[in-house]
């Protein structure tokens, strides 16, 4: 394999990692608020189908994005009402959301099967070269000759990082996830923070889904996410709840996702189905490795998965 092929591969890995990145960032924000939302897959599907549908009828890329975010957030809202206000079990509620989201996208998408994303949207999300940065050898080709979504994902990762580590609200958010009782005593509105960030997380998952249906494929197909939502949940652990590390994880898995196609392309004699197992196998491997080393700083938010009720006794 020559350099050009490698650059092409890496460029494609970024593209295939982008939906994972959005979803992972969304889940990082959610888990930082102390809520484990296993419904990522469901929210991505809701975003994918809504974004595609609205894009199809409006031909407007902006509206399509908005629809995807609203749909993802709507799914997250159901989850938030149940887990934050009604204190339902987070694991089961997340699973329910995955089932619901799958049903929702199957239901909405039945008439869309086979439809292709409209030209206006394909055009809007066509790759373009970033001035100056795009001219850098190799790096420019890999990172800065991409489409709008990809740039948006870079920006989102950086903004989420700044938000978490440099702002006061981010500090409060981390406190809510770590020790809601402490946050409450410091007069932070725990429920408000949880709701806001679960919704924000859902919106990002929705975006990740829309990237798949509008840009990556770009046509409607059933179950377009194919388990990427679950990989995103695992990536959060891989990234130790750090948005910058999520970048690495997402592109690594993006690469794994397309490697089969490439390897077959160069005539390597191995079944496509075996290579398709790779991302899932590596996810398991990553989880095992992460569980081997434990430390104060890189551990999950301590309040993760536990409902908070001030008057509990």
Partner 1 sequence: MNLISMEGITKTFGRVVANKEIRFQVKHGEIHALLGENGAGKSTLVNMLSGIYTPDSGSIFIRGKAVKLTSPRAALHAGIGMIHQHFKLVEVMTAKENILLGQKSSFFIRDEQLTQKIKEFSHRFQLDVDPNKKVYDMSVGEKQTLEILKVLYRGANILILDEPTAVLTPQETQKLFQIMLKMKEEGCAVIFITHKMNEVLAISDRITVLRKGETVKTVNTGETTTQELAELMVGHPVNLAIKREEATPGKVLLEVKDLIVESEERVKALKGVSFSLAAGEILGVAGVAGSGQKELCEAIAGLYPVKSGEVFFKGENLVGLSPRQIITRGISMSFVPEDRLGMGLVASMDMVDNLILKEYQNQKGLLINRKPAAAKSKNIIQKLEISTPGIHHPIKELSGGNIQKVLLGRELDSNPDLLITAYPVRGLDINVSYKIYELINAEKKKGVAVLFIGEDLDVLLELCDRIMVLCGGEITGILAAKQATKEQLGLLMAGEKNGKREDTELA
Partner 2 sequence: MLRMVKRAQMSKTKSTGIRLLAVFLALATAAILIMAMNLNPLEVYGGLFKGAFGSAYRVREVIIKATSLIITSLGIAIAFKMQFWNIGGEGQILMGAFAASCLALNIPDLSRPLLLVLMIIAGMIGGGLWALIPAFFRAQWKTNETIVTLMMNYIALKWVMYLQYGPWKDPLALGFPKIPNFTLNGILPKVLGMHIGWIFAIILVFLVAIFLNHSKKGYEIAVLGESENTALYAGINVKRTIITAIFLSGALCGLTGMIQASALNNTLSIEVSEGIGYTAIITTWLGGLKPVFISLVSVLFAALLQGGSFIQIAFGIPQAAAQLLQGMILFFVLGSEFFIRYKLVVDRPSLGEAKEELEE
For residues 294 to 313, the per-residue mask of contacts with partner 2, x marking binding by CB under 8 A and - elsewhere, is ---------------x-xx-
Least distance in angstroms from the C-beta of 89 to partner 2: 7
Q: How far apart are CA 143 and CA 86, in angstroms?
A: 44
User: Among partner 2, partner 1, none, what does residue 171 contact (CB within 5–8 Å per kind)?
Assistant: partner 1
Q: Please say which residue, 100 or 149, places its beta carbon nearer to partner 2.
A: 100
Largest CA distance in the chain: 65
Place of tokens 């996208």: 105
User: Among partner 2, partner 1, none, what does residue 126 contact (CB within 5–8 Å per kind)?
Assistant: none
Which of 57, 182, 270, 274 touches partner 1 by CB under 8 A? 182
175 is a contact residue toward partner 1 (CB under 8 A):
yes
**Calculated CA dihedral for residues 171, 173, 176, 179, nearest 10 degrees:** -30
26 is a contact residue toward partner 2 (CB under 8 A):
no
Task: Decide if 263 contacts 139 (C-beta within 8 A).
Answer: no
Task: Decide if 174 contacts 31 (C-beta within 8 A).
Answer: no
User: Among partner 1, partner 2, none, what does residue 104 contact (CB within 5–8 Å per kind)?
Assistant: partner 2
User: Among partner 2, partner 1, none, what does residue 219 contact (CB within 5–8 Å per kind)?
Assistant: none
Q: Which stretch binds partner 2 (CB under 8 A): 78-86, 194-202, 205-213, 243-251?
A: 78-86
Cα–Cα distances in Å, from 233 out to 67, 87, 152, 159? Answer: 23, 21, 21, 20
291 is a contact residue toward partner 1 (CB under 8 A):
no
| Of 259, 287, 285, nearest in space to 272 by CA | 259
């Amino acid at each position: 394999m020559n350099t050009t092929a490698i650059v092409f591969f890496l460029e494609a890995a970024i593209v295939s990692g982008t939906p994972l990145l959005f979803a992972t960032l969304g889940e990082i924000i959610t888990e930082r608020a102390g809520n484990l939302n296993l419904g990522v897959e469901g929210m991505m599907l809701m975003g994918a189908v809504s974004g595609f549908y609205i894009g199809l009828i409006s031909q407007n890329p902006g509206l399509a994005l908005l629809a995807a975010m609203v749909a993802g957030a709507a799914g997250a809202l159901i989850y938030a009402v149940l887990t934050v206000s009604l204190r339902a079990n987070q694991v089961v509620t997340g699973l329910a959301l995955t089932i619901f989201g799958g049903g929702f996208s199957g239901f909405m998408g039945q008439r869309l099967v086979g439809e292709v994303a409209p030209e206006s949207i394909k055009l809007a999300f066509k790759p373009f070269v970033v001035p100056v940065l795009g001219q850098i050898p190799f790096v420019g080709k890999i990172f800065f000759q991409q489409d709008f979504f990809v740039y948006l994902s870079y920006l989102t990762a950086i903004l989420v990082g700044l938000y978490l580590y440099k702002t006061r609200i981010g500090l409060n958010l981390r406190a809510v996830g770590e020790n809601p009782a402490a946050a409450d005593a410091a007069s932070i509105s725990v429920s408000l923070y949880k709701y806001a960030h679960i919704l924000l997380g859902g919106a990002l998952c929705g975006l990740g889904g829309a990237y798949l249906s509008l840009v990556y494929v770009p046509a409607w197909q059933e179950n377009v996410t194919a388990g990427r939502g679950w990989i995103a949940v695992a990536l959060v652990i891989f990234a130790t709840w750090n948005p910058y590390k999520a970048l690495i994880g997402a592109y690594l898995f993006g690469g794994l996702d397309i490697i089969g196609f490439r390897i077959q392309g160069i005539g390597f004699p191995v079944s496509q189905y075996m290579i398709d197992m790779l991302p899932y196998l590596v996810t398991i491997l990553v989880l095992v490795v992460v569980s081997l080393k434990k430390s104060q700083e890189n551990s999950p938010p301590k309040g993760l998965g536990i409902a908070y009720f001030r008057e509990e006794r």
